[in-house]
Chain A
Amino acid sequence: MTSWKELLNDKIPAEMGNLIDTYEAQMELRKQGKLDEKVFAEARLRKGVYGQRYDNGQRHDGVRTRDLLYPSDEVVKGPDTLWDAPGMQRIKIPYGGMTAEQLEALSDLADEYSDGILHITTRQDIQLHYVHIDDTPDLMRRLAAVGITTQEACGNSVRNITACTLAGVCHDEVFDVSPYADAMTQFLLGHDDVQDFGRKFKVAFSGCAGHACGLVKMHDLGLLAQTREIDGETVRGFTVFVGGGLGTVPHQAKVLADFCTEEQLLPLTQAIARVFARLGEKKNRNRARLKFLVAKLGIDEFRKLVREELEIVPADPRHTDYIDRVSDFVNAPAKAGMALNGAALPDGFAEWYRSNVYKQVQPGYSTITLNTPLGDFTSEQGFALADIAREYVGDNIRLSVEQNVVLRWVADADLPAIYRDLCAIGLGDANAGTIVDITTCPGTDTCKLGIASSRGLTAELRARLIERINLLPDAVRDLKIKVSGCFNSCGQHHVADIGFFGNSRRSGNHKMPHFQVVLGGQWQENAGSYGLACGAVPAKCVPDVLEALTERYVAERAEDENFQAWVKELGRKEIKAMLQPFTKLPSFEEAPNYFSDWGDSRVYTIDDIGVGECAGEVVSLFSMEISKAESTHFEALLALDDGDYTLADENAYKAMVLAARALVRTKYLDVGDDYSNIVDEFRSRFYDTELIYDRFAKGKFARYLFKRHAEAPARIDQDYAHQIIDETQLFIENVHTAEQRINGVIVG
């Protein structure tokens, strides 16, 4: 029987393949208990392999908490996270852009490793749920074969870089930011300077200031397209925002630089990353996002530090190489543009056209949004959608932060036909971007941190609103609703007109699911302002609260007064008074249905809440890097077992270099990847100074590295391979001991 690894060997770029092999070796080491669970957890998270609710082996069934007796109940894939428990695989889709082939590959994986559903996230990723960790290496290989990586999709790393789905086709943008988002993705992926963060780092690009676009003001790093006249020439660049973020404590980003040129974009980002890595909080993960560092230092001091860092960022040709490729970036139609020609229109087309079709800046073309309920679509829809894309738009597929699929470059004359085709696969619903099109995080369905059922509530609101949509005034119809299952704001409730986030309250001896009502957030102007929490109401009251709010808004608003202005005008006190009738809690005997969440018949409990992995594990840079050396050493052992002694030697040598590099990087971050440079730095910093010396063996183990580096073996046989693998093991142990002695800690 062949394997995906063998089958796809020629299609996977070597570097991606090596990373997956390393991860697979780390899995094996963890199963054998040879890799620390926290280190493995962070390594797995950085591969997008995430925990899910109930992975601690316990679930409340509505009556009592039961043990889930997974087969490998002794093996964990992280603290309190059982190996066999189903997990989530997050898959990065940079700026949401994907090809038809990639969509098919993702659909294959949803069929074979998940539950047949592809879920679009608020960061333009795809997530597959209920995935077994043992399936993840092959899943990654199949993605790598079509050019998709899961590298750094979770954990304390640079998350998927987002951008407006209209980039390149928008009437109001300054220029198309897609190639810049692409370049930054390539540049930062696996970059040494983004491996030692205390928390995740989110980046977004936006083409204009006015629309929601990339939501740059709620990001750690937001880039807003600008041009300047310099020496008579129009120069492209960006206004740089830093320190934004939602979460429990939302921060609006601050302007770091009014304008940075495209030449400065990547080095400046690198400098920001280095300052964050050096000065950001590492121990208290609740204060470890960049927003806290910017707030603590003040934007002026932060700017000064970034400027100083920029001076010492090593020169790198990649900083500017990408600029030549910007103009090559494909933003072109698959078919000639044609106007709608008066042909008969299908039923429902006009309504769909009104809400789901955006006339591109390019004449004769439109961008259409597929209203994808709760961000979910089936693998079968994925295949059909790939066919539709090929027929009408080629590879111009994007995912939106509002959890929809977007097809760009539809020739206007094709709109009726594509609408018919989308209806045939259940993706022809109108009302994209309206009050019906609610954004939601996974909540208690799958998230360990979920307090209330955000998806259950969203499904209920959506069903009720669809029934009434034609009766709603435009002012209500165009409102944004966003729902999170807890205060962490993955559903982005702060930037909606009406947001909800889950919490719980007690009534008698029972807990009751609630949602906090957050009003007046601003989606436009790149998440221009955040909403105000106005009070918690029982989950079962939320539809009534929504109705009361929208009815009063329609009745009292001044002409053209938007929701934010109305909320501000009304005032928090009055809003609180309006919510008051809904906050009276019935007893369990009076209204037992209040004590169950939406879409859940169990009596509500918060006993299932676990420890989230959003923050990743606080693990030192050394621990992460030495684990790569250990897994490479393990691969050498596997090669030895396979009788491939040349590969065993290569991996053993590489493992020694990686171990040396791990130690060098505790003192010198910019050592790079060149073997000779690493060995030289290691020699001067740790061997010549005797810091690496073992108490008894002195510098013997380090000399194993020097010997192998100085000269490749003349003859490689089993005995030689065995010997160098043993030497590598001793050297890695030597590095571990030295690091403990020098730095005093391994796992932070």
Chain B
Amino acid sequence: MTIVPKRLGVKFNLKQTPKTQPADIVPIFQRWIQEHRVEGMLIDVIDYKHVPDGPGIVLIADEADYAYDFGYGEAGLHYVRKRDLPADFAAALKLVFHCALLGAQALEAEAPEDLIFDYSSVKINFLDRMNYRNEPAVFDEIEEALRAVLSDIYGAAVGLSRVHDDPRRLFAARAIASPDAIDLEDIGARLHESRQLV
């Protein structure tokens, strides 16, 4: 059985460099707290835009963080689930994927012409060095399970690779689906349904 990591993150990158500045995201996230725009027990917004290639602007929640993130020089929406992950790996990944998707779509809706995410490529971060050392063997062990869940999510085959070679970095995998095969409504519906089942 595939171990559920202590923390699990999913990041969608932006397709292009946006005109929207990181500082513009602060009021958006603060309004999200007022309006409960995304799920979770939303607590606060923290601004790290002064740090190069950092977590950017982070919406802190009790069980998860939503970050307008610049890690590794890639701007995107990074959702990190910190607690209350289902005990089953597939269910956990689907939950995190779904929350990240909803978060990215919510952000896209704030500036539809500018903040456009590439949903065909997703980075999955395993924030758990105890159970997921960043080694090729770990990727080999998890590849099949990961591919099965992601293919299920996308409704299509996905390419899968380990992201970082440096063993000190967090273990992360990138999945790429054919952009033609992506139907976000279908993906959302499938994920919603799977969460209902859980």
Contact = CB atoms under 8 A, between A and B. Distances in A.
A599 B47 contact: yes
B98 to A, nearest CB: 20
Nearest to B82: A132
A2 B71 CA distance: 30
Given A59-B44, A112-B129, A602-B30, A71 B51 contact: no
Dominant SS among interface residues on chain B: loop
Contacts of B67: 115
Contacts of A459: 47, 49-50
Contacts of A129: 46
Interface in B52-67: 52-55, 58, 60, 62, 65, 67
Given A59-B44, A383-B169, 12 more contacts: A2-B130, A54-B44, A68-B62, A71-B84, A108-B168, A115-B58, A376-B50, A378-B54, A383-B166, A383-B168, A462-B50, A601-B26
A112 B30 contact: no
Contacts of B58: 115
Contacts of A86: 43, 60, 62
A117 B131 contact: no
Nearest 6 A-B pairs (CB), nearest first?
A426-B52, A601-B27, A373-B50, A378-B54, A61-B34, A116-B55
Given A112-B127, A601-B27, A374 B71 contact: no
B41 A115 contact: no
Interface in B92-151: 127-131
A396 B127 CA distance: 29
A456 B47 contact: yes
Contact of A69 (B41, B60, B65, B169): B41
5 contacts: A54-B44, A59-B44, A71-B84, A130-B65, A425-B52
B184 interface: no
Contacts of A262: none
Interface string A80-114: 00001010000000000000000010011001100
A591 interface: no
Given A373-B51, A376-B51, A61 B33 contact: yes
B5 to A, nearest CB: 10
A314 interface: no
A108 B41 contact: no
A363 B185 CA distance: 67
B48 interface: yes
B177 to A, nearest CB: 27
B34 A63 contact: yes
Interface in A46-93: 53-54, 59, 61-63, 68-71, 84, 86
B23 to A, nearest CB: 8
Interface string A361-399: 000000000000110111011010000000000000000
A115 B72 contact: no
A133 to B, nearest CB: 12
A227 B131 CA distance: 54
Contacts of B6: 112
Contacts, number: 108
B80 to A, nearest CB: 9
A525 interface: no
A4 interface: yes
A71 B128 CA distance: 23
Contacts of A61: 30, 33-34
B83 A132 contact: yes
A112 B26 contact: no
Interface string B11-41: 0000000000001001100110110000001
Contact of A117 (B3, B41, B54): B54
A374 B50 contact: yes
Nearest to A599: B47
A54 B43 CA distance: 8
A462 B84 CA distance: 39
B30 A380 contact: no
A636 B6 CA distance: 28
B169 A378 contact: no
Contacts of A7: 130
Given A601-B30, A602-B30, A376 B48 contact: yes
Contact of B60 (A84, A130, A377, A602): A130
Interface in A441-464: 445-446, 455-456, 459, 462
B170 interface: yes
B7 interface: yes
Residue from B43, B49, B170 having most chain A Cβ neighbours under 10 A? B43
Given A111-B170, A376-B50, A380-B72, A117 B27 contact: no
A300 interface: no
A70 B41 contact: yes
A600 interface: yes
A697 interface: no
Interface string B157-179: 00000000010111000000000
B3 A1 contact: yes
A117 B30 contact: no
Contact of A68 (B43, B47, B71): B43
